[in-house]
Each structure stands twice: as C-alpha cells, then as structure tokens.
Chains A and B, each alone.
Chain A
Amino acid sequence: EIVLTQSPGTLSLSPGERATLSCRASQSVRNYLAWYQQKPGQAPRLLISGASSRATGIPDRFSGSGSGTDFTLTISRLEPEDFAVYYCQQYGSLPRTFGQGTKVAIK
C-alpha cells in the first residue's frame, strides 16, 4: 500500500496570501495524483488530477505540480472560500490511498 504524507498539518494564513501544500508518496505514483478540497459538512471536491490538471470549474489560482513521489498544491492568493481541508490521493495502484489532510486556517 502506498502511504501519502501531507505537510504541514495546519497552515495558518491570511486572505490574499499564498498557500503551499506538500504531499509525499512512499513510492512512485508517476503523475497519478489528485487533490481535493473539503469544507465542513460537505463532500470532497476534486481540484486537480494527473498531478497538474485542474478539474472543470476550478479557478486558476489553484495549481498542482510534481511527479514520482513529491507533489505540491499551490493556492496563489487565498480567497475566503479557500479555507478548508485539502487531501491528496494517489491512483497509481490499488488500494487508492489518501493523505491525512492539510487544514488551511484563517490566521
């Protein structure tokens, strides 16, 4: 099973600031990496697949990069609606696995 480790656990930032979230895989997943946003009481929403391809309707302030074992989700300028928990997920092999999440909190 591929283990995904996200860092930091919590990121405290102000609106307008840049957020950089990390996801590290225990072995290569090539570019089979997705990012999701989840707000309290809601289902997750797909942001990025293929490590860097934005899903339909996702604003361009969200960007993904990386391949192999190291990946990054960047939010260029935080909007109030971006404060949420973010998960990475690998689909390079079964079982599909998720990171433990990074909470982006208002500072």
Chain B
Amino acid sequence: EVQLLESGGGLVQPGGSLRLSCAASGFTFSNDWMTWLRQAPGKGLEWVANLNQGGSEKYFLDSVKGRFTISRDNAKNSLYLQMSSLRVEDTAVYYCARDFKGAFDSWGQGTLVTVSS
C-alpha cells in the first residue's frame, strides 16, 4: 500500500523559513515523479512544484519561484520542500503526492503551514 507522510509544518512569521518532509513507502520511490500541492483554508487545490525521479528536472508555480526549493533523497525515500521568504498567502495545508503521468494518484494527509505575525 502506498503511504505518504508529511511533516514539518507549523507557525512561522512572514519572511521566515520552513522545511517540509514527505516520507514515502509501499512503492519504488525512485521510479516516480513527485509533487507538492497546497490548499489554503476553505479554498481549492493548487499545484506548487514537482520533481523528476533523479532530482534533475523541477518545475514551480510562478508565485513560489525563487522562494521554494524541491528536492528528494531516494536512499531515504523522502521528498522535501524548502520554503523561504514566506508570505501570509502561503498559509495552507501542504500535500505531497505521487505524480502518475501528471495526475496525482496517491496523497499524504497533509501538513499545515501558518504564516502569521
């Protein structure tokens, strides 16, 4: 069974940084693209970034370019999202998901990031 478990969320001040982690199990992690998505409170879903199997190809939502970095450690079956220069509008539940040819077939339970002073 595919399992994805996010961690690292919390309360951070505007301008601060946070690193999210996603631990994967139940599938061959190194074979798949992986993605971060987010959902602001009471709002819809938003794709944030994705990363190819080897970590060499990555894409970002325009509003997070230059502030967020996505990476992975295939030896540890883990995906990461390094977030800096955080803004109030980055407040959301952040999900990691397995990228199935562009659709997202497995999701974690999410971790809440709150950016507030």
Q: Which A residues contact B (CB, under 8 angstroms)?
A: 32, 34, 36, 38, 42-46, 49-50, 55-56, 87, 89, 91-92, 94-101
Secondary structure at the B interface, as helix, strand, loop or mixed, is: strand
Secondary structure at the A interface, as helix, strand, loop or mixed, is: loop
Asked whether, in the complex, the Cβ of B45 is within 8 Å of the Cβ of A98, the reply is yes
CB proximity of A30 to chain B, nearest CB, Å? 11
Asked whether, in the complex, the Cβ of A43 is within 8 Å of the Cβ of B44, the reply is no
Q: A4 to B9: give the CA distance in the assembly, Å.
A: 29
Q: A95 to B61: give the CA distance in the assembly, Å.
A: 6
Q: How many residues of B contact A (CB 8 A)?
A: 21
Asked whether, in the complex, the Cβ of A44 is within 8 Å of the Cβ of B103, the reply is no
Chain B 76-111 against A: per-residue CB contact (8 Å), 1 yes, 0 no? 000000000000000000010000111111111110
18 A-B Cβ contacts within 8 A?
A34-B103, A43-B95, A43-B109, A44-B95, A44-B107, A46-B104, A49-B100, A49-B105, A56-B105, A89-B47, A89-B103, A95-B62, A96-B47, A96-B50, A98-B46, A98-B47, A99-B44, A100-B44
CB proximity of B6 to chain A, nearest CB, Å? 10
